[in-house]
Amino acid sequence: MAEVYKSQANIKFHQADPAGIMFFANVFTLAHDAYEAFIQTCGFTWKEWFLDNKYLIPIRHTEADYLRPFLAGETYEIQVRVIEFSSSSFRLQYDFLQGAHKHAVVRMVHTCIDPKTFQKSNLPDVVKTKLQPFHHETTT
């Protein structure tokens, strides 16, 4: 059975509007914070993933579905799954939950590019191998 990476996010006062609801774009920052921890759980060091430049894997596409508001002072669980691999990319899904309630779903596509030419290149085998335990055939 595929694994799910889990982390938590606490919504800070400065992330919210005067009504205490988190500004919508902050969900992408929370997802990326979870992504940085997820990559390390998969077996890469932060430096190796972001600085070594053997390959680059930037975000090519991102989207979010907002289902319930995020409130300042509250804690939310973030569940991360790999939902798709292609020859040059992978797609991650981030489910933001509080108890039984889903508050948002964020999806990000990361595409591998050559650091010298900035052209799309094949996803290195080591990347797919280390992310594979978190691969789920369908989204939730």
Q: Which domain holds residue 82?
A: 5-134
Q: Considering the chain, what is the average pLDDT of its residues? A: 96
* Residues 6+ away with beta carbon under 8 Å from 120: 88, 111, 112, 113, 114
Look at residue 139 in the predicted model and tell me its pLDDT: 53
Strand ranges across the sheet with 101-111: 5-10, 75-85, 89-98, 101-111, 59-66
Establish if 69 belongs to a structural domain: yes
120-129 pLDDT, tens per residue? Answer: 999 999 999 9
31-75 pLDDT, tens per residue? Answer: 999 999 999 999 999 999 999 888 999 999 999 999 999 999 999
Establish if 25 belongs to a structural domain: yes
Residue in this structure with the two tokens 């606490």, named with its chain if needed: 10
Look at residue 52 in the predicted model and tell me its pLDDT: 87
Rounded distance, CA 15 to CA 34, Å?
Answer: 17
Tell me the one-letter amino acid at 140.
T
Establish if 139 belongs to a structural domain: no
Residue in this structure with the two tokens 């070594």, named with its chain if needed: 52
Number of domains present in the structure of the chain: 1
Establish if 100 belongs to a structural domain: yes
DSSP-derived letter for residue 123 is: P
Establish if 63 belongs to a structural domain: yes
Domain CATH number, residue 32:
3.10.129.10
- pTM for this one? 0.95
User: What's CA 75's distance to the chain center, in Å?
Assistant: 18
Rounded distance, CA 69 to CA 52, Å?
Answer: 38
Establish if 79 belongs to a structural domain: yes
